[in-house]
């Protein structure tokens, strides 16, 4: 069956979620693009948006309509070519409205799993729950005569385990989108020894057509992204424990977060990133990885304590940050949660003391957003890290320890056959986590 034939009937499970909605939108745009190809004009492309809530699906359709409208506004020149035979579409607004209507007409919001029983492709984007994933994929597989292909968005669960448990006989691959899928350019692609070659061919075409790039990963729990991220959290917690010998808990959290953001020139500090992802999500990923990683203890007492106190982080429906390890006001950190006191301690009470201890940022420092846009980024980073290397300030010393561990994690990912090569780790860190540089570099 050809690529376009496989796309004639597709289901996205978990379509109304943060990840599923983006995957649904990208797939709908690719189906709409296929519809414009003359040889496909008589094909009917159907995309089932499968989720449990009618209300959530209604919100999903609003989101898709908004995204389709924005896409059409940015691509009006090419859309004019697609609609050149439509004499009734004269001005830009008419074309934009028609495109949004055509894209939405492809999507069928549904709450019953039976809708997936005729699909050729299943994108799975439900919560990171291994048993639930297996149950749903098994149900579809048993009732779908088309022997569908499954593309799972899992960021942690081994694909071979899902394949075996759901009895898919190699008709599954890991296609891990980064959040949010409609914006992020990177995907991690994971196949097993049993994955059928035709799935790889389809995924390569699909990713190219939706304008993304991908990095391959071995089928090891956590893959490259979370393999790095979870170990980064564990190292940061170790530094907190060391600093607690001379400082309070909230001071230690503040300083490690500042080191990992400002001194390392990252978009956000490690604990702010944990809040962004969701403390409960991080704990769940660790629990999924732990049974599959025998030589390390993938667990964080800090994460566990916050969840015990029902401090979860994550994001509100409008995208604003919920309180977690930090308290936020208009997106800015204002306080640190203290598990011992069961309350947030304002940063204003200890910031100056912490900053004085860490010392000034080395010369040639620029914030992440500025340096990432600078065409001379590489030269600026070389000068900055040379100054960091020469500095004896506590902040610089901690940053150097962090950078050493950063490189060790990358080295272990390659050595332990999680990543194929260092360039793949760098690609995930730069394009997936948006760091200004990867762990394997010549700066230090």
Same domain flag for 232 and 349: yes
Same domain flag for 300 and 386: yes
- Give me the pLDDT at residue 116, please: 98
Q: Which two tokens stand for residue 184?
A: 């992020």
- Give me the pLDDT at residue 295, please: 83
List the domain range (segments joined by +) for residue 243. Answer: 224-432
Same domain flag for 164 and 255: no
Is residue 178 situated within a structural domain? yes
Closest CA relative to residue 258, chosen from 242, 276, 271: 271
- Name beta bridge partners: 110: 50
- Give me the pLDDT at residue 315, please: 86
Is residue 396 situated within a structural domain? yes
Under 8 Å CB-to-CB from 7, ≥6 apart: which residues? Answer: 27, 30, 31, 34, 45, 120, 121
Same domain flag for 24 and 110: yes
- Give me the pLDDT at residue 1, please: 83
Q: Do the beta carbons of residue 118 and residue 48 sit within 8 Å?
A: no
Same domain flag for 199 and 268: no
Same domain flag for 199 and 242: no
Is residue 134 situated within a structural domain? yes
- The rounded radius of gyration (Å) of the Cα atoms in the chain is 24
The number of residues in the chain equals 444
Given 217, 244, 268, which residue is the final one in a domain? 217
Residue appearing with tokens 């090419």 = 78
**Alpha carbon distance 119, 146 (integer Å):** 7
Same domain flag for 249 and 324: yes
The per-residue pLDDT string of the chain (444 residues; one tens digit each, 9 = 90 and over) reads 899 999 999 999 999 998 999 999 999 999 999 999 999 988 999 999 999 999 999 999 999 999 999 999 999 999 998 898 888 988 999 999 999 999 999 999 999 999 999 999 999 999 989 999 999 999 999 999 999 999 999 999 999 999 999 999 999 999 999 988 999 999 999 999 999 999 999 999 999 999 999 999 999 999 999 999 999 999 999 999 999 999 999 999 999 999 999 999 999 999 999 999 999 999 999 999 998 887 889 999 999 999 999 999 998 877 789 999 999 998 899 999 999 999 999 999 999 999 999 999 999 999 999 999 999 999 999 999 999 999 999 999 999 999 999 999 999 999 999 999 999 999 999 999 999 999 998 887
Same domain flag for 337 and 402: yes
Q: For the chain, how many structural domains are there in total?
A: 2
- Name beta bridge partners: 150: 122, 172
- Give me the pLDDT at residue 90, please: 86
Q: Do the beta carbons of residue 71 and residue 100 sit within 8 Å?
A: no
**Alpha carbon distance 306, 8 (integer Å):** 46
Closest CA relative to residue 14, chosen from 131, 109, 103: 109
Is residue 439 situated within a structural domain? no
Is residue 47 situated within a structural domain? yes
Same domain flag for 102 and 184: yes
Helix axis angle, 18-36 relative to 197-209, nearest 10°? 80
Closest CA relative to residue 402, chosen from 433, 366, 439: 439
Is residue 438 situated within a structural domain? no
Read off the pTM: 0.92
How far from 183 is each of 23, 71, 106, 350, 420, CA to CA, in Å?
Answer: 11, 12, 21, 37, 25
**Alpha carbon distance 278, 432 (integer Å):** 17
Given 217, 245, 262, which residue is the final one in a domain? 217
Given 160, 193, 217, which residue is the final one in a domain? 217
Could you tell me the sign of the dihedral formed by the alpha carbons of 23, 46, 66, 92, in that order? positive
């Amino acid at each position: 069956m050809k690529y376009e034939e496989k796309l004639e009937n597709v289901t996205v499970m978990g379509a109304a979620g943060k990840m599923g909605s983006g995957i649904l939108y990208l797939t709908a745009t690719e189906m709409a693009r296929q519809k414009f190809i003359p040889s496909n004009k008589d094909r009917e492309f159907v995309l089932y948006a499968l989720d449990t809530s009618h209300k959530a699906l209604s919100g999903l359709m609003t989101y898709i309509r908004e995204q389709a409208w924005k896409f059409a506004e940015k691509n009006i020149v090419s859309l004019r070519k697609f609609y050149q035979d439509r004499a009734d579409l004269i001005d830009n607004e008419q074309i934009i409205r028609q495109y949004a209507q055509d894209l939405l007409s492809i999507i069928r919001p549904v709450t019953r799993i039976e809708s997936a029983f005729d699909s050729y492709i299943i994108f799975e984007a439900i919560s990171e729950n291994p048993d639930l994933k297996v149950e749903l994929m098994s149900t579809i597989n048993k009732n779908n005569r088309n022997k569908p292909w499954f593309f799972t968005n899992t960021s942690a669960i081994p694909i071979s385990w899902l394949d075996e448990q759901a009895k898919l006989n190699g008709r599954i691959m890991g296609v891990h989108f980064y959040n949010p899928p409609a914006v992020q350019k990177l995907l991690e692609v994971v196949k097993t020894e049993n994955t059928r070659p035709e799935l790889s061919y389809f995924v390569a075409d699909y990713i190219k057509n939706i304008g993304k790039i991908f990095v391959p990963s071995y089928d090891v729990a956590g893959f490259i992204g979370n393999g790095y991220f979870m170990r980064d959290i564990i190292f940061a917690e170790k530094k907190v424990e060391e600093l607690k010998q001379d400082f309070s808990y909230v001071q230690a959290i503040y300083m490690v977060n500042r080191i990992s953001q400002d001194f390392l020139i990252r978009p956000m500090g490690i604990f702010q990133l944990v809040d962004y992802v969701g403390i409960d999500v991080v704990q769940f990923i660790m629990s999924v990885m732990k049974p599959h990683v025998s030589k390390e203890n993938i667990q964080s007492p800090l994460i566990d304590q916050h969840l015990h106190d029902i401090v979860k982080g994550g994001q509100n429906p409008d995208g604003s940050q919920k309180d977690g390890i930090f308290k936020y006001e208009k997106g800015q950190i204002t306080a640190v949660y203290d598990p011992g006191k069961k309350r947030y301690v304002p940063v204003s009470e200890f910031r100056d003391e912490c900053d004085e201890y860490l010392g000034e940022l080395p010369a040639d420092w620029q914030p992440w957003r500025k340096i990432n846009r600078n065409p001379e980024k590489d030269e600026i980073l070389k000068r900055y890290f040379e100054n960091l290397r020469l500095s004896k300030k506590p902040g610089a010393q901690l940053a150097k320890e962090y950078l050493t561990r950063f490189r060790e994690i990358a080295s272990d990912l390659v050595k332990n056959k999680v990543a194929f090569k260092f360039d793949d780790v760098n690609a995930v860190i730069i394009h997936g986590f948006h760091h200004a540089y990867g762990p394997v570099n010549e700066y230090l």
